[in-house]
Chains A and B, each alone.
Chain A
Amino acid sequence: MPFGFRGPAPPRSRQPSRRPGSACSARRRCRILLSPSLPGAVAMHGRLKLRPPDAARRRQREEKLRLYRSAMATLLEKRERGELDAEALALTGAVLAANPDVGTCWNLRRCALPPDPADWVPGELAFVVGCLGVNPKSYGAWHHRGWVLRRAPAPPPAPAERALCDRLLAADPRNFHAWEHRRTLAAEEDPEAELAFAGTLLSRDFSNFSAWHHRSRLLAPTRTPTSPGGGAGALPPHRLQTELELVQNAVFTDPNDQSAWVYLRCILSRASPPPRILCLYVNREDATLAVTFSRPVVVGSGSSTLTVTADGSALEGAWRSGEGRPRPSHTWLCDLPPDLAPPTARPRLHFRVTWAPDSTHREVMLLPDENEAWWQEPIKAGELFWPEVGVAEASVLEAQVETCRQLLELEPRSRGCLLTLVLLLSALDPLGHEEEIRRCLRDLQEADPLRIGFVGDVASRAEAAVGVLRMGAGPDGAIKLRLPGKALTSLPLLEHMVLVTHLDLAGNNLGGLPPALGGLRRLQVLDASRNKVTTLRGFPPLPRLEELRLDGNPISHASALAPLAVCPRLARLRLAETPLAATPEAAAHLAQLLPSIDVTLA
């Protein structure tokens, strides 16, 4: 049955096809669904359901339908005969004037226009205006207008086009076709006038995101989140100041409207920095070099984007993802050839890694008395939570913090304000503002019951950032990261945790342990007890993991633990207070599945 209905209903009776030449395989089930091709009947927006039309209205509709069908039939016949002439032009006009969304009709109209644009440009422009009166958001009508303007021998003055946009935007200030049309004109014209126009619309209604967007495009037309080289910073300072004042007006007028808050975030952001190397880690015993990036990347096995030399000689090894599957990953691994680090000799080794896309080199030296060595980029605290923050001057961010704090005194439940304050405080000093950030996030949970999942993950990111900044290096190279009881619903920022040896995630709300944990090549002890883990599907092979605590998780089946079989050093597994531990066969199953692991069930 169509549309994926499952269920016991018998197949519907088949409808015969009216299209000549349609094939229908006798052997295969070939369902033909039929629907009238009157456009607008298949998708309608904002049409209130009324009582069934009376006889007169029904006759009217049927007459309209008859005229439409007859016109289209004639047009298609004329097209077959190569007769796209003045009569065809008139017919397309009749159809489109009633329904400007018939794409085929616009195509036929363009074919039927005489060769010299001078004959028809003004007429076509007027015709489109009429069509836009019927549907101001008709893609077909707007495209035709653009098509006509490009062929005009002398383009009409921009004021006329702008006046058209003015009228349409007065009726619907969110008509993005009209906004875009203005932007194509604005390219030649005075950006200040356009900024003023957008400003006028905003002063009527601050919740007009189309107007905010228009401003951002005018102020920095080439600025995109994916600009090559990632160089696009925040707006020039004097421009930024004007926008910040406008935003301030907006949020104090209506603190619960989201548009201005979204805009604020946009103007304070820069393009996401492209992936760069965050960490190199080499381990002599594992004979592996691990490279961790700031964002997931794909390194093909024979790729030349990531290359390594050891004491000057290129290593030919293939790259594999630290997550155990060839997917975009933060961490990529290269095996060291056996002759490079033979078990008896322990030479000093100098590794140099080159990432071709930004031509950077990173180096790490492994000394004879060392089993492991690493290089790690110093962490920039302000960029952990909000990596796209694009404003360098703390004073600008601090001024915004003050605005938010004042607004919250008037409107403590403004969720846009609460989230923005969290972003700003995290960009300034995540540790110094730790408590205020937590308070805002708690308030946000209460103020935004629809988006509990979102706020939970945002709070998880804030806690992870604090945890990363508090990581302590202990004796014997231990690096411990403690995040117990932080209500974590997800585990972000793992790319900054790759040197951790002990990770405490006990008493959180984690539903799973992500493959990105595979970057933690030094991890020895992972405490994930009392979470909401049901399966370890996707759990990566961790070379150093010795102890895993999963007590108090809703794990019911031994098979859920199968991925642990590939952790070579895993010696201790705790499963007390799991549904699995309560089953009589548990011990036997686990002994079979994970023979070299000491499993605690009680």
Chain B
Amino acid sequence: MATAGRRAPGVGTPQKDVIIKPDAPSMLLSEKHADYIASYGTKKDDYILILYDSLHVVDVNKIVEYIQNLQKEDGSFAGDKWGEIDTRFSFCAVATLALLGKLDAIDVGKAVEFVLSCMNFDGGFGCRPGSESHAGQIYCCTGFLAITDQLHQINVDLLGWWLCERQLPSGGLNGRPEKLPDVCYSWWVLASLKMIGRLHWIDREKLRCFILACQDEETGGFADRPGDMVDPFHTLFGIAGLSLLGEEQIKAVNPVFCMPEDVLRRINVQPELVS
């Protein structure tokens, strides 16, 4: 048989993956993480403001108008007036409007058409039509289709297969074939699997071990992979991923919005998922 490439037949390249050391953290260090997040803000000057339960301070009509004006003729959404088109912005648009109860402000049908045109033959979705499938974009498109009640348009078995193939022997999930595992993909991939009713297609216990191994016992917080530096982004997705896996110490997190279920229940925005 032909042997293009440097490897001999039958001898595969070792798969890109990480090794979890035996002394890696194996329990959830809740208190450490709480301390980490709380102290993150004690550094000086310039802050990003995150408000809870304060929708009354925002001008809802202006937000709706801003989003409306970002929808293009083909149903896609730009990120801002500078015109970058990406399915991430389709998700942001409908998620924002759904939380505000204003989904009908845009042309939902056209928006759906555009997102579906970003579907690939491997079952996944990319940034724009023709883009390579990527777990982050898949999360955005699946979330979009959940919010617009179009999950039945997804080829669930095919997408589920692509997603469960993200799991590596270490238990971690990557974002595309042959990439390293990363804790944030524990969210993008896991939430997508949950939305399409295929969470059982990965090994949940191994994933849990991987996520826990990404904790930093000294500083608290989660890093992208064991031994790396922590940051709030990966901390959020590590916690949210553990919640989807059923971690009892963590509240139930909604896989569409990455927000606590009890908040969404209160405002009655809980899109139906595939069971």
Is A24 within 8 A of B54, CB to CB? yes
Check: A449 CB closer than 8 A to any chain B CB. Answer: yes
Q: With an 8 A cutoff between CB atoms, is A110 at the interface?
A: yes
Chain B residue total in the interface (Cβ 8 A): 109
Kindly report which residue of chain A lies nearest to residue B120, judged by CB atoms. A225
Do the beta carbons of B52 and A31 come within 8 Å of each other? yes
CB–CB B80/A252 < 8 A:
no
Contact A32 B49 (CB under 8 A): yes
- A374 to chain B minimum Cβ distance, whole angstroms, is 25
Quick check: A5 and B250 within 8 Å, CB to CB? yes
Residue B223 lies at the interface, judged by CB distance under 8 Å to chain A: yes
Interface check B239, CB cutoff 8 A? yes
Question: Is B46 in contact with A180, judged by CB distance below 8 angstroms?
Answer: no
Please indicate the chain B residues that have their CB under 8 angstroms from the CB of A1 in the complex: 34
Cβ-based interface call for A438 (8 A)? no
Q: Which of A210-218, A300-308, A552-560, A582-590 contacts B (4 or more CB under 8 A)?
A: A210-218
Q: Does any Cβ of A come within 8 Å of B245's Cβ?
A: no
Give the distance in Å from the alpha carbon of A35 to the alpha carbon of B167 in the complex: 32
**Which of A452-460, A519-527, A542-550 lies at the interface?**
A452-460
The stretch from A86-94, A258-266, A467-475, A573-581 touching chain B is A258-266
The answer, among A30, A179, A204, A453, for a CB contact under 8 Å with B52, is A30
CA distance A322 to B133 in the complex (A): 35
From A10-18, A159-167, A334-342, the one touching the partner chain is A10-18
In the complex, the chain A residue whose C-beta lies closest to that of B165 is A258
Partner of B12, one of A205, A256, A452: A256
Q: A224 is contacted by which of B119, B182, B249 (Cβ under 8 Å)?
A: B119
Measured between beta carbons, the chain B residues less than 8 angstroms from A45 are 182, 224, 228
Complexed CA–CA distance, A52 and B248 (Å): 34
Residue of A nearest to B41 (CB): A34
Assess whether B5 is in contact with A203, with CB atoms less than 8 Å apart: yes
Pair B224/A33 contact, Cβ less than 8 Å: no
Once bound together, how far apart are the Cα atoms of A1 and B123, in whole Å? 38
CB within 8 A of B130: which of A31, A49, A107, A183? A183
Q: A4's contact among B54, B177, B201, B253, by CB below 8 Å, is which?
A: B253
| Cβ–Cβ contact B3 & A252, under 8 A | yes
Contact of B203 among A47, A209, A221, A450 (CB under 8 A): A450
Q: Considering the chains assembled together, what is the distance between the CA atoms of A253 and B126 in angstroms?
A: 28
Indicate if the CB atoms of B34 and A9 lie closer than 8 Å: yes
A459 to chain B, nearest CB (A): 13
Chain B: CB-nearest residue to A44: B231
CB contacts (< 8 Å) of B48 on chain A: these are 33-35, 37
Residue of A nearest to B206 (CB): A450
| Docked-complex contact B164 and A454, CB < 8 angstroms | yes
Please measure, in the bound complex, the distance between the C-alpha atom of A461 and the C-alpha atom of B160, giving whole angstroms.
14
In the complex the two chains form, what is the Cα distance from A209 to B243 in whole Å?
31
Tell me the nearest residue of chain A to B162, going by C-beta: A262
Interchain CA distance A49-B121 in the complex, whole Å: 39
A451 in contact with B167 (CB, 8 Å):
yes
Partner of B50, one of A33, A49, A139, A252: A33
Whether B275 sits at the interface, judged by CB under 8 Å, is yes
B251 close to A5 (CB less than 8 A):
yes
Asked if A49 and B228 make an inter-chain contact with CB atoms under 8 angstroms apart, the answer reads yes
Which A residues are in CB contact (< 8 Å) with B40? 34-35
Bound together, the chains give a CA A202 to CA B4 distance in angstroms of 9
B152 partner residues in chain A, CB cutoff 8 A:
295-298, 328
Output the least CB separation between A2 and chain B (Å): 6
Q: Which B residues are in CB contact (< 8 Å) with A37? A: 46-48
Chain A neighbourhood of B37, CB < 8 A: 2-3, 33
Please encode chain A, from 218 to 255, with 1 for each CB lying within 8 Å of some chain B CB and 0 for all others: 00010111100000000000000000010011101111
Name A329-362 residues within 8 Å CB distance of B.
none
A55 at the interface (CB under 8 A from B): no
- B177:A3 contact, CB within 8 angstroms: no
Q: Contact at A248–B2, with CB atoms within 8 Å?
A: yes
Name the residue of chain A whose CB is nearest to the CB of B56.
Answer: A25
Q: Kindly report which residue of chain B lies nearest to residue A18, judged by CB atoms.
A: B47
Cβ contact within 8 Å between A257 and B178: yes
Contact B131 A176 (CB under 8 A): yes
Pick the residue among B4, B176, B240 that contacts A249 (CB under 8 A). B4
Contact A43 B234 (CB under 8 A): yes
Contact bitstring B227-254, A, C-beta under 8 A = 1, else 0: 1111111111001100100000111110
* B200 and A453 within 8 A (CB): yes
- Would you mind naming 19 contact pairs between A and B with Cβ atoms under 8 Å apart? A3-B240, A4-B250, A5-B250, A30-B51, A30-B54, A33-B49, A34-B40, A34-B48, A143-B84, A174-B178, A180-B130, A203-B4, A209-B176, A225-B123, A267-B121, A298-B152, A450-B203, A451-B164, A453-B202
- Cβ-closest 8 pairs across A and B: A34-B41, A43-B233, A4-B251, A266-B121, A328-B152, A453-B200, A34-B47, A454-B201
